[in-house]
Structure 1
Amino acid sequence: MLAALAIASVVAGCSTPSTGYPPAAPVATARRLENLQAVASRHTACPAREIGIRQVSERVFSTMGCGVVREYALVQGSRYAEWQPIMPVNMRAANEMVCPLERLVVSAPTENVRQVSGCGRSAQYQLACDVSQCEWAMTTPPAGAGATGRVVEATPPPGRVTAPTPSTPDSSVVVVPQRADPAVDQAIRGQLDARRSAIRACVPRGELTMVRAQWGRDGMVRLSLDPPWQGTQSERCVQQSVGQLQVTTGEAGAISHVVR
């Protein structure tokens, strides 16, 4: 994955000094991506060789290793470009929505947008960047009982670099609370039920479909079907319809869910 990102960076070109104002945003070169592995390793106490990198936007990257997921922005420091940790959207939402972390569920309809729900309320956040920082900013007021929070104008990151093709579709990500409790089960089943029509359309004759979801400590969820659909185009259709799911419990797990 890192090699693929490196190739994409080379194609994008290297950063060059600029005399204009504001200064040009730094570019994620291969060397800087290697440095990101080292930075994430220090922050997570996970060996650098086990840190995977996934591109979220032009300057924002997600690292994953030893069951821990972190996001970093490449920003221009006083002298050099540096990797700046981004406050996780669930932590920011917990403060702004006045809801405990363990009761929040975050879904990602697009790369730069997160929908946060919990405590009977919901709000939308968008990734906003300038040369010196990136953060998740609330773009719609919390809806629901006792809604509160601060809304800011979020400017989407300029441009968009095409990310390397992931091993599974990347149309949707669900992040659940960082502990093994019923919220994990509920969040995944909710995502499968939300795509019920698309999943049913993948299986001939509209038969009941048993979808199995398995994940390791890296949090990436692998979907599969029972025979006779296992390994068939129907299974690939379901995977494409659901998209990529991710949990952040740091523990392996599995569920089976019947889509009726």
Structure 2
Amino acid sequence: MLEVIAAIAITCVVLTGCAARTRLASSAPPAAQGETRAQLLARARIDLGCERASLVELGPRHVAAAGCGAQREYRNVCEGARACEWITIDDLAIRASFELECPVADLEVVTLGASSRGVVGCGVRATYVLVCQGEGCHWLPSTVHRSAAERHFAPAALVQQ
């Protein structure tokens, strides 16, 4: 009798466990409910003004569109039960140009990781991290290093020796 009860209990646990996993997997809003990758590619081609643009996977839910010498990054953001959507990430070169007081053409952006970039130019080297909150993703400076000649012009809080 105990063997029958144990077998029924194990069967219930196994069936319930599988059902719970299936429910959890299906309740997570897939990106397909929002903008599909094909739709994102079409939007990226318009954003970049380039029909030859293609998507490159940078990390989970993080892609770059590149083509015709231009690039733009997008992040797939999901909030609660809402459908996921691809949002445009701020252009790092434009932000760094302003913050580092250096023309965009003189900056070089280097990928350090899925959510970090290095920017070099005009005697300045900076690290930026990607922060996504609410409806937007923004690059925020993490560290800034200036050449010896530039250090006397920099705010003390940003300069690291």
Greater RCO between the two (CA within 8 Å, min separation 6)? 1
TM-score by length of 1: 0.42
1:59 maps to which residue?
61
- Secondary structure of the equivalent of 1:46? coil
The residue type paired with residue 115 of structure 2 is N
Q: Which residue pairs with 1:154 in the alignment?
A: none
Question: Would the aligned equivalents of 1:97 and 1:147 in 2 still touch at CA under 8 Å?
Answer: no
Give the aligned CA root-mean-square deviation in angstroms.
3.1
SS in 2 for 1:129: strand
* Secondary structure of the corresponding residue to residue 99 of structure 1: coil
Distance 1:149 1:74 in 2: 36
**Structure 1 residues 14 and 91 mapped into 2: Cα distance closer, same or farther (>3 Å)?**
farther
For structure 2, the 5+ residue unaligned runs are 1-23
Structure 2 CA distance for aligned equivalents of residues 38 and 150 of structure 1: 42
2:12 matched residue in structure 1: none
The answer to whether residue 44 in structure 2 is matched with residue 40 in structure 1 is yes
Taking the TM superposition and a 5 Å limit, the aligned residue runs for 1:93-242 are 93-144=96-147, 145=150, 146-148=153-155
Between Structure 1 and Structure 2, how many residues are aligned? Answer: 129
Structure with the larger strand share: 2
Amino acid at match of 2:71: V
Percent identity (aligned): 30
Secondary structure of 2:27 counterpart: coil
Q: Residues 133 and 117 from structure 1, CA distance in 2 versus in 1: closer, same or farther, beyond 3 angstroms? A: same
Partners in 2 of 1:148 and 1:97 — Cα distance?
11
What whole-Å deviation, never above 9, does each CA across 1:42-67 have from its counterpart, x for those lacking one?
A: 212323xx331111122221012333
Shift of 1:92: 0.9
The answer for the alignment partner of 1:16 in structure 2 is 27
- CA change 1:73–1:16 in 2 (3 A) is same
TM-score, normalised via structure 2 length: 0.64
Distance 1:136 1:14, change over 3 A: farther
Bigger radius of gyration among the two: 2
In structure 2, distance between residues paired with 1:106 and 1:70: 13
Contact 2:124 2:144 in 1 (8 A): no
Residues 46/121 of structure 1: CA separation in 2 closer, same or farther (3 Å cut):
closer
For residues 150 and 70 of structure 1, the distance between their equivalents in structure 2, rounded to whole angstroms, comes to 30
In 1, Cα distance between equivalents of 2:100 and 2:45: 31
Q: What is the one-letter code of the residue matched to 1:129?
A: C
